[in-house]
Chain A
Amino acid sequence: MSDINNTRARYAIGIDLGTTHSALSYVNLSESDGEKSSHGVLKVPQLSAPGTVEELSLLPSFVYLPHADEVAAGDLALPWVTQEADAPFVVGEMARSRGATTPIRLVSSAKSWLCHPGVDRRAAILPSDAPAEVARISPITAATRYLTHLRQAWDNAHPQAPFAEQEITVTIPASFDPAARELTMEAAQAAGYTSLTLLEEPQAALYSWIQTSEGRWRKEVKPGDIILVVDVGGGTSDFSLIAVLERDGVLEPHRVAVGEHILLGGDNMDLALAHLVARKLAANGTQLDAWQMRALTYGCRSAKESLLADSGLDTAPIVVPSRGSKLIGGSIRTELTRSEVSTFILDGFFPQVEASSRPAVRTRAGLTQLGLPYAQDAAITRHLAAFLGRQVAATNELEGFAGRQSQDATFLHPTAVLFNGGVFKSDLLVQRIMATVNDWLYMEGAEPARMLAGADLDLAVARGAAYYSYVRRGHGVRIRGGTASSFYVAIESAMPAIPGMEPPIQALCVAPFGMEEGSELELPGQQFGLVVGEPVHFRFFASSTRRNDQIGDLLDFWGPDELQELSEIQATLSAEGRQAGDVVQVRLHARVTEAGTLELLAVSLDGAERWKVEFDVRGTPQQ
């Protein structure tokens, strides 16, 4: 898939496919040498209003599906020739602003839907609350449109260096499961990306930090460091742990653990503040409609940013403009105070909790699975405590790390923290996380962690991705790690049936932890009989903590948090050259592609035939 010896490439391109914004960054290969690299961010031409094209460094990740009477000829013209779609659509800034007033035609957070196991991600389901006459699109189509727009923007700006010939990296959340990774890959291929690699966002943030330091990073981190990457974006929070090893005198970062997918981000904070202010206004007899509520959310965001940034400020005024042309008198003035922001944001989203605290889980009301599975506990610090607690043993097996952490540690002790995401432009929030983590460390008698400074909070992921494309060509340091989970299929135990009880299952490890890109393993011993033409389903599990299970290991028992069930996988043998109903004996192989996706293969015993075992992305109701 990915061609590392892509000799025609003149640029290494990195694409941050974000939940709310996407960006494209690049490294000029001919002007880069070793750790000094020449890089830039592509200004993406996009519609900002009908018939108006602006060049912005971010592409808002929104698709707007306009009504036929909403747009006139030429209103949607871009600097390049767009492919005919079944129905007109708009991507970018105009989609975002139009969608704010007509949300039923707006596709947003497509990335979160792409990894939502409860829905069919290839089906046209977005916008989820659109009326019947709107031609919906699938999450994968939405992602394809963002990626296509970025490709066309590149080709428009660099006709002499076509996109298809460059080295491409697309970022994904570290918490994406194998199915979501494969769907991202599928979207990229549909968008005409021929040579690409996937990279986890927290790793991209660290690459960006390494690149920005131009070699000084070797002085700022030392062997034995455990770097905690805290990435809070607009809609998601993502944690990773990266340990720094020394091999043959060379520093080698290893990504040792990634967190769960948490749908919680900066947008939730703005919305929470807007509701607080709206309640205050309602107490004085002013009711806001949906339009004013959006304007208030926008106002709260800038008020929050100024209050969190400037410690001398006590209140920040917010004005909700009138909708009609009577601006004076029709506008509503209110304010946000410093204490409200610190109570709501600091104590609501970043409370100083114990290391032992865990996110609250409440049982969901019946039909909530139709929407996105948002995090139920808003406290990012509690999610962080849970992550570090779960990964307490993450570095035990790593060479040079044995015995570094005391035996009674209840969570993994990070020694450095790297922040990413626009939320952390506020020093207050950075300090709160540092203080909380250092409290936890102090309680267990460990040294305080230090903060790795100098990160570019908005564009680090895109920049880091471009740098990774560059690193893959053999320059600079590379983060190792492989898969961040081990994977299992369920096998029914051979035991007599007991009425009223499901037969107990065993978990068969089909892919161990830390498989590197380009490696393939065969499942020893176990053979499966597959019936030609009939799909066979397996329950599929992942574990982010069981690091020592080898391929072929059969588990009888596991802890309640150790294994997470993912969507089913299924194998279908094509009937080609066989009678339907024949049984073929196969072995399972696990393969991690160069691009970074996991593939399970059913291989016939003579090895001559291979069938891909598919991840079921049609949505299985969650238990």
Chain B
Amino acid sequence: MNPSSSHPSFWRRVPLAFGAFFSTLSDAAYAARVEKLSLPEVAPVAPVAPAPAPAPVHVPAPAPVILKEATPDAALQLLALLQREARLIDFTQENLGSHADADIGAAARVVHEGCAKVMREYFTIEAVRQEAEGSRIVLNEGFDSAQVRLTGNVVGSAPFKGTLSHRGWRASSVRLPKLSEQHDAAILAPAEVEL
């Protein structure tokens, strides 16, 4: 890069001068930087930062993607809610083989109603795509592959035309209850003793 071309022209310097004037008056941090300019120029060979800067200057090498580890607390909390409202753990821990369908059906009502309540109260769940399932849709270039998964004859380039086979679900908000520090989330349902 030609060093002279990095020097601004006269007409460019006029607004710069005014800008510097007002910024120096109004912004103390800016003023400090201006003050530093009038000090004798230090050779810009090794810029030693006055404080150890946390941001590394070098170009980041392709590091392995750090996988997030899910915290067990939220998962345990959801299980506890599903047990409390829907008896989901009770239901799944039982062997269906020994029961008549009518009994299973009766229990399924409790589970269904309770699960629906948990979904409704702690999450806002909406469809990813508003179109009716079975309708033809077009995916333009740059569509979010996390939101729409392509299946079947995946060849060529966008725009893609296909049939919507599932609308998808998105949790647009999560409102799990807050837990106190001492709360042991591993107890999904306490044992009950009637006195």
Contact = CB atoms under 8 A, between A and B. Distances in A.
A319 B180 contact: no
A579 interface: no
Contact of B180 (A48, A75, A302, A326): A75
Interface of A: 45, 48-55, 72-75, 77, 79, 101, 302, 317, 319, 321, 323, 325-329, 331-333
Contacts of B113: 302
Nearest to B84: A49
Given A49-B84, A51-B180, A52-B177, A328 B109 contact: no
Contacts of A53: 177-180
Nearest to B88: A327
> Which 7 pairs, one residue from A and one from B, show the smallest C-beta to C-beta distance?
A51-B183, A74-B182, A333-B106, A51-B180, A54-B177, A327-B90, A77-B180
Interface in B60-103: 77, 80, 84, 87, 89-91, 93-94, 96, 99, 102-103
21 contacts: A49-B177, A50-B183, A51-B183, A52-B77, A52-B178, A52-B180, A53-B177, A53-B178, A73-B182, A74-B180, A75-B183, A77-B180, A319-B106, A321-B87, A321-B107, A325-B90, A327-B90, A327-B91, A328-B94, A331-B103, A333-B109
Contacts of A321: 87, 107, 110
B148 interface: no
B175 A319 contact: no
Interface residues of B, number: 30
A51 B94 CA distance: 29
Contacts of A73: 182
Nearest to B93: A325
A50 B184 CA distance: 10
A319 B109 contact: yes
Contact of B175 (A51, A55, A302): A55
Interface string B148-180: 000000000000000000000000000101111
B108 to A, nearest CB: 9
Interface in B107-128: 107, 109-111, 113
B137 interface: no
A123 to B, nearest CB: 28
A331 B107 contact: yes
B139 interface: no
Contact of A329 (B93, B99, B182): B99
Most buried by B among A45, A50, A52, A333: A52
Contacts of B80: 49
Given A319-B110, A321-B87, A321-B110, A329 B103 contact: yes
A276 B104 CA distance: 25
A48 B96 CA distance: 32
B181 interface: yes
Contacts of B84: 49
Contacts, number: 78
Interface string B129-159: 0000000000000000000000000000000
B182 A331 contact: no
Contacts of B181: 74, 77
Given A53-B177, A326-B94, A74 B183 contact: yes
Nearest to B94: A328
Nearest to B90: A327
Nearest to B181: A74
Nearest to B96: A328
Nearest to B175: A55
Given A328-B96, A328-B103, A52 B183 contact: yes
Contacts of B105: 333
B182 A72 contact: yes
Contact of B110 (A72, A77, A327, A329): A327
B102 to A, nearest CB: 8
A484 to B, nearest CB: 40
Interface in B28-84: 77, 80, 84
A103 to B, nearest CB: 13
Contacts of A332: 106
A555 to B, nearest CB: 57
Nearest to A325: B90
A578 B39 CA distance: 88
B87 A51 contact: no
Given A321-B110, A327-B110, A333-B105, 7 more contacts: A53-B177, A54-B177, A75-B183, A317-B106, A319-B107, A331-B110, A333-B106
Contacts of A77: 180-181
Contacts of B111: 327
Contact of A51 (B102, B110, B179): B179
A454 to B, nearest CB: 25
Contacts of A319: 106-107, 109-110
Nearest to A93: B177
A40 B91 CA distance: 40
Nearest to B104: A328
Nearest to B195: A102
A328 B91 contact: yes
Contacts of B94: 326-328
A74 B185 CA distance: 13
B183 A317 contact: no
A327 B114 CA distance: 13
Given A321-B87, A325-B90, A331 B180 contact: no
Contacts of A101: 192
B160 to A, nearest CB: 42
A472 B44 CA distance: 70
Nearest to A67: B195
A472 B89 CA distance: 54
A320 to B, nearest CB: 9
A509 B58 CA distance: 92
B8 to A, nearest CB: 46
A321 B114 CA distance: 11
B106 A52 contact: no
Contacts of B179: 51-53
Nearest to A79: B178
A50 B102 CA distance: 36
A77 B179 CA distance: 9
A101 B193 CA distance: 11
Nearest to B77: A52
Most buried by B among A51, A74, A326, A327: A327
A362 to B, nearest CB: 37
